[in-house]
């Protein structure tokens, strides 16, 4: 079976991982692989792989790694918060494809001087969240490491007849997002100490920090959206609204989109920073790690989408629409989202 060639790079031996970038690496890997075959229906490139044996709708698998000093900072992240988040972000990937989580694999690279009490608290929070979603710990691995490394893989049951992908958006589709956006970014800045906490009331500050440390995976909502048959494309907002919308548009054939900024959903806590000018709108659109669901659906499905939101108990906001190929804009001031300070989400090798 012939393999597709990856994009060309300068032939110099000095090219580094940083030169290619995280997304460049992933795309080059995807293009170097043969098309999925056999029981593997979908491989590298979406939020989870799709493995479908002879019977049933198949298994979706997602994997994620967290490294101390890159993905988390132990100076303000407790063992329990990290245990929770390590699983939650993977559950969110399955939610983005409408899957029901089933079992999880946890692998750990542990420094020799790590306290057992810390590890026990991490494991307890991890397993407590797993139990909440009826997910079983099926295995994993533990090795010695210089810094703390956490690797999580979750298998989920694919919805029938097929999972929701990033690539199904069509011209004229509505764009929706669940919950509120920008909260995790603000929580992160508050935890870092780069935003003055006195700029908001104490309840708002505590709530925003929790939104960063303990994001909520929209699993039930994802399952209901998949079952509705109305969603054309979906993913979870991990890299920021701008970057993740870009993923949908590129995967759907290079389409465009128009966003109505007045419709963007912000929490009362985030509004305290936004309305006083302590934070810019662009930051809330590019910050990432909200783990809300961003999806497209034809206008004919609006009533059904509203019913799904009510049943799932999660707010859904229609923020714009898919357009012909072209620039992503915000309707009220024609700002090009793809040019916002060059910030299009987090890239591990560029950021």
CATH number assigned to the domain comprising residue 52: 3.30.1330.10
Same domain, 182 and 211: yes
Same domain, 186 and 254: yes
Residue 297 near residue 230 (C-beta atoms within 8 A): yes
Q: Is 259 helix (H, G, I), strand (E, B) or coil?
A: strand
Identify the H or E element spanning 110.
strand 100-110
Residue 101 near residue 153 (C-beta atoms within 8 A): no
| 50 vs 337: CA distance, rounded Å | 31
Cis peptide before 161 (omega within 30 of 0): yes
Same domain, 148 and 183: no
Identify the pLDDT of residue 13.
66
Is residue 345, in this structure, part of any structural domain at all?
no
Is residue 229, in this structure, part of any structural domain at all?
yes
Same domain, 194 and 98: no
pLDDT by 10s per residue, the chain, length 351: 445 555 555 555 667 756 767 677 678 767 877 887 776 788 877 888 787 766 678 899 999 999 999 899 999 999 999 999 999 999 999 999 999 999 999 999 999 899 999 999 999 999 999 999 999 888 888 888 999 999 999 999 999 888 999 999 999 999 999 999 999 999 999 999 999 988 899 999 999 999 999 999 999 999 999 999 999 999 999 999 999 999 999 999 999 999 999 999 999 999 999 998 999 998 999 999 999 999 999 999 999 999 999 999 999 999 999 999 987 887 776 777 766 544 555 554 444
**Region class of 19: left (phi > 0), else alpha (psi between -120 and 50), else beta:** alpha
Same domain, 139 and 186: no
CA-to-CA dists, residue 212 to 106, 180, 185, 311, 350, angstroms: 22, 13, 7, 26, 22
Is residue 348, in this structure, part of any structural domain at all?
no
Is residue 11, in this structure, part of any structural domain at all?
no
Same domain, 332 and 185: yes
Same domain, 187 and 321: yes
Is residue 198, in this structure, part of any structural domain at all?
yes
Residue 105 near residue 139 (C-beta atoms within 8 A): yes
**Region class of 205: left (phi > 0), else alpha (psi between -120 and 50), else beta:** alpha
Kindly report the number of other CB atoms within 10 A of residue 2's CB atom.
Answer: 5
- Count of structural domains within the chain: 2
Identify the pLDDT of residue 139.
84
For residue 312, the cross-strand partners are none
Residue 232 near residue 250 (C-beta atoms within 8 A): no
Same domain, 134 and 239: no
Same domain, 25 and 139: yes
Same domain, 124 and 196: no
Q: Work out whether the CA dihedral 245, 243, 262, 97 comes out positive or negative.
A: positive
Same domain, 334 and 298: yes
Same domain, 261 and 138: no
Return the CATH number at 194: 3.90.650.10
Is residue 162, in this structure, part of any structural domain at all?
no
Q: Is 142 helix (H, G, I), strand (E, B) or coil?
A: strand
Domain of residue 84: give its range: 19-157
Kindly report the number of other CB atoms within 10 A of residue 208's CB atom.
Answer: 28
């Amino acid at each position: 079976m012939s393999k597709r060639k990856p994009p060309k790079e300068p032939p110099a031996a000095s090219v580094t991982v940083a030169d290619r970038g995280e997304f460049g690496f992933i795309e080059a890997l995807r293009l170097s692989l043969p098309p999925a075959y056999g029981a593997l229906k979908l491989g590298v490139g979406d939020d989870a792989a799709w493995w479908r044996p002879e019977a049933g709708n198949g298994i979706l698998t997602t994997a994620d790694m967290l490294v101390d000093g890159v993905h988390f900072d132990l100076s303000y992240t407790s063992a329990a918060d990290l245990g929770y988040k390590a699983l939650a972000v993977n559950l969110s990937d399955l939610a983005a494809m409408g899957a029901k989580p089933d079992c999880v694999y946890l692998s750990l690279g542990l420094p020799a001087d790590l306290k057992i009490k810390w590890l026990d608290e991490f494991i307890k929070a991890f397993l407590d969240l797993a139990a909440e979603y009826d997910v079983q710990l099926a295995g994993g691995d533990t090795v010695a490491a210089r810094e703390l490394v956490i690797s999580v893989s979750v298998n989920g049951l694919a919805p029938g007849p097929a999972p929701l992908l990033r690539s199904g958006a069509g011209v004229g589709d509505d764009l929706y997002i669940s919950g509120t956006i920008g909260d995790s970014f603000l929580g992160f800045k508050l935890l870092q100490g780069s935003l003055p906490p006195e700029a908001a009331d104490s309840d708002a500050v505590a709530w925003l920090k929790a939104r960063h440390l303990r994001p909520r995976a929209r699993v039930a909502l994802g399952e209901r959206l998949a079952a509705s048959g109305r969603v054309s494309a979906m993913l979870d907002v991990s890299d920021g609204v701008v970057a993740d919308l870009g993923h949908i548009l590129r995967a759907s054939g290079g389409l465009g989109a128009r966003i109505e900024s007045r419709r963007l959903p912000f929490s009362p806590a985030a509004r305290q920073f936004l309305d006083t000018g302590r934070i810019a709108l662009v930051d809330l659109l590019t910050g990432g790690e909200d783990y809300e669901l961003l999806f497209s659906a034809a206008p004919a499905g609006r009533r059904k989408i509203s019913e799904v939101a009510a049943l799932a108990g999660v707010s859904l906001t229609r923020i714009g629409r898919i357009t012909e190929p072209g620039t992503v804009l915000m309707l009220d001031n024609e700002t090009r989202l793809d040019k916002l300070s060059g910030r299009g989400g987090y890239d591990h090798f560029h950021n």
